[in-house]
């Protein structure tokens, strides 16, 4: 496909996303199925246009003077395709399948700089109704944090130390520009693709098939490392989902002790079996999904209960930018209730002297520090542990500074730490 046709195709996909409220990945897959002639390069370029437009939706709409699918895609095109505004104007020649010529207004929008006095939610590309939460979370840094959440994310991998070393995986993925992560000692990063380039399909690599690594954001790796899953412990991964953390624990525990992987949803849990097999993880017991009675029978037993709580996902907007605009106050309220319910359940499972680790991939204080405060008020036997000391002990390096400014919980963000937005709080059970 010619570049002008790719822009037109992206407008069609974006129309589907906006008008029919469909997830971008579904709209893109549907478009691919009904346009079989399009190659993988075309699909990647169209995907970049759609995702970049969603990442920077507010600022692009302001520049272009419209929130229409066409305005958003045209506004995103220079950066998404790695070309100049003049190139985009020239590409829109109205030839068969291509985008029609740009109006004067559209042309002017491509060159319009953002003015300094714009509100934070426009400059930082986050939903206006979350302005208060962004302000509470980041104060004067709200725009910078929003901007970082609106950039493309790198591809992060966790080396499976049961089967490989970081050096070995770095060598296997050298061709993709793989480099060691700065914070996680078992992490590897492939930088985000620029312009029209696409991210490599690392899961098609032999090294992945052999179980040498898993795709996992560095923030997620750090949450698992900070939890302190040592050899021979009894660990409960309470919201195990596809098992990302259970796999990391199995590696930290050198396949000794026991990890119980539980989730209320069997469809979430389903991929864990294949992943465990590939990784050579032998100390993970997958519980029946939703088996509350089975879980109850294990009360007061665990050295470590890890709560990877259901949340708004606001920390992962770089990877799922459409979720940013679908999120509603009602969704957040529902997740807050879910979090309280899993925290209540988790409290019963920790043995005296054991610990609970509460994690979200969110940057909203409501879901993070405020839930921990609520939990501690309800459960007198639990006390938050200073994460700075814990980091030193578990990772043997100096802890990064949390964007919350305190040591109760570690809030990681793309702007400060280069990871997805993650919140990690460690609580010890004293009685």
Ligand X SMILES: C[S@@+](CC[C@H](N)C(=O)[O-])C[C@H]1O[C@@H](n2cnc3c(N)ncnc32)[C@H](O)[C@@H]1O
d(CA 420, CA 431): 34
Nearer to ligand X, 104 or 337 (CB): 337
Is 412 a binding residue for ligand X by CB under 6 A? The answer is no
Q: Quote the least distance from Cβ 117 to ligand X, whole Å.
A: 38
Residue 260 DSSP symbol:
E
Is 40 a binding residue for ligand X by CB under 6 A? The answer is no
Q: Quote the least distance from Cβ 74 to ligand X, whole Å.
A: 35
CB atoms within 10 A of CB 52: 26
- x/- mask, ligand X, residues 123-142, rule CB under 6 A, reads --------------------
Question: Using CA of residue 405, residue 410, residue 411, residue 417, what is the dihedral sign?
Answer: positive
> Is 263 annotated in some ligand binding site?
yes
What is the C-alpha R_g of the chain? 23
Q: In the beta sheet, which residues pair with residue 426?
A: 357
Selected binder of ligand X within 181, 184, 264, 312 (CB under 6 A): 264
d(CA 78, CA 90): 12
Nearer to ligand X, 334 or 401 (CB): 334
Residue nearest to ligand X (CB): 244
Phi and psi torsions of 284, nearest 5° = -105, 125
Nearer to ligand X, 125 or 308 (CB): 308
Nearer to ligand X, 17 or 155 (CB): 155
d(CA 421, CA 316): 6
Q: Quote the least distance from Cβ 384 to ligand X, whole Å.
A: 21
Give the C-alpha distances (Å, rounded to integers) separating 58 from 74, 126, 127. 14, 7, 8
Is 338 a binding residue for ligand X by CB under 6 A? The answer is yes
**Terminal alpha carbon distance of the chain:** 66
Is 420 a binding residue for ligand X by CB under 6 A? The answer is no
**249, 229 contact by CB (below 8 A):** yes
From the candidates 141, 239, 311, 361, give the one annotated as an active-site residue: 361
Q: Quote the least distance from Cβ 156 to ligand X, whole Å.
A: 13
Is 390 a binding residue for ligand X by CB under 6 A? The answer is no
**40, 85 contact by CB (below 8 A):** no
**186, 213 contact by CB (below 8 A):** no
Residue 139 CB burial class (10 angstroms; 0-12, 13-18, ≥19): exposed
Residue 156 DSSP symbol:
E
Q: Quote the least distance from Cβ 214 to ligand X, whole Å.
A: 10
| Strand ranges for 84-181 from DSSP E | 155-159, 179-180
Give the C-alpha distances (Å, rounded to integers) separating 287 from 62, 146, 293, 381, 417. 50, 38, 11, 27, 34
Nearer to ligand X, 137 or 239 (CB): 239
Stretch binding ligand X (CB under 6 A), from 42-50, 165-173, 259-267, 362-370? 259-267
Is 158 a binding residue for ligand X by CB under 6 A? The answer is no
Is 107 a binding residue for ligand X by CB under 6 A? The answer is no
> Is 322 annotated in some ligand binding site?
no
**384, 376 contact by CB (below 8 A):** yes
> Which residues in 219-258 contact ligand X (CB under 6 A)?
238-245
Stretch binding ligand X (CB under 6 A), from 9-17, 32-40, 71-79, 335-343? 335-343
Catalytic residue list contains 239: no
> Which residues in 274-333 contact ligand X (CB under 6 A)?
308, 310
Residue 408 DSSP symbol:
S
Q: How many chain residues are in contact with ligand X, going by CB under 6 A?
A: 17
Q: Quote the least distance from Cβ 111 to ligand X, whole Å.
A: 41
Selected binder of ligand X within 103, 254, 256, 341 (CB under 6 A): 341
**184, 217 contact by CB (below 8 A):** no
Q: Quote the least distance from Cβ 293 to ligand X, whole Å.
A: 13
Q: Could you tell me which residues are annotated as the binding site for S-adenosyl-L-methionine?
A: 263, 308
Footprint of ligand X (CB under 6 A): 238-245, 263-265, 268, 308, 310, 338, 341-342
Q: Could you tell me which residues are annotated as the binding site?
A: 263, 308
Which residues are identified as catalytic?
361
């Amino acid at each position: 496909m010619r570049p002008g046709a790719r822009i037109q195709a992206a407008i069609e996909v974006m129309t589907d996303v906006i008008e029919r409220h469909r997830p971008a990945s579904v709209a893109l897959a549907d478009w691919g199925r009904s346009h079989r002639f399009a190659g993988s390069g075309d699909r990647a370029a169209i995907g970049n246009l759609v995702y970049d437009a969603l990442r920077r939706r507010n600022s692009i709409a302001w520049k272009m003077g419209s929130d229409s699918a066409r305005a958003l895609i045209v506004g995103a095109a220079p950066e998404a395709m790695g070309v100049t505004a003049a190139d985009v104007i020239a590409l829109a020649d109205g030839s068969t399948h291509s985008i029609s010529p740009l109006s004067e207004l559209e042309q002017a929008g491509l060159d319009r700089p953002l003015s300094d006095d714009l509100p934070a939610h426009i400059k930082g590309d986050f939903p206006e109704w979350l302005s208060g939460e962004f302000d509470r979370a980041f104060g004067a840094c709200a725009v910078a944090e929003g901007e970082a959440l609106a950039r493309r994310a790198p591809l992060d991998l966790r080396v499976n130390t049961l089967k490989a070393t970081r050096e070995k995986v770095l060598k296997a993925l050298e061709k993709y520009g793989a480099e060691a992560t700065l914070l996680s000692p078992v992490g590897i990063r492939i930088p985000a693709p620029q312009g029209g380039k696409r991210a490599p399909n690392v899961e098609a690599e032999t090294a992945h098939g052999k179980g040498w690594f898993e795709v996992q954001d560095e923030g997620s790796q750090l949450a698992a490392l900070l939890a302190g899953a040592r050899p021979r412990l009894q660990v409960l991964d309470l919201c195990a989902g596809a098992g990302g953390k259970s796999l990391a624990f199995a590696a930290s525990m050198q396949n000794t002790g026991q990890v119980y992987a539980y989730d209320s949803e069997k469809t979430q849990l389903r991929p864990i079996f294949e992943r465990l097999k590939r990784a050579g993880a032998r100390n993970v017991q997958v519980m029946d999904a939703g088996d509350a009675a089975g879980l109850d029978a294990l009360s007061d037993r665990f050295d470590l209960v890890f709560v990877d709580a259901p949340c708004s996902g606001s920390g992962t907007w770089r990877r799922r930018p459409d979720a940013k605009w679908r999120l509603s106050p009602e969704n957040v309220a529902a997740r807050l209730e879910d979090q309280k319910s899993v925290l209540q359940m988790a409290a019963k499972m920790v043995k005296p002297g054991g610990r609970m680790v509460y994690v979200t991939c969110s940057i909203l204080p409501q879901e993070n520090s405020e839930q921990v405060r609520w939990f501690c008020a309800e459960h007198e036997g639990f006390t938050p542990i200073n994460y700075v000391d814990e980091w030193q002990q578990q990772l043997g390096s100096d802890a990064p500074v949390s964007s919350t400014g305190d040591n109760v919980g570690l809030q990681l963000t793309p702007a400060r730490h280069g990871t997805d937005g993650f919140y990690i709080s460690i609580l010890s059970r004293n009685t």
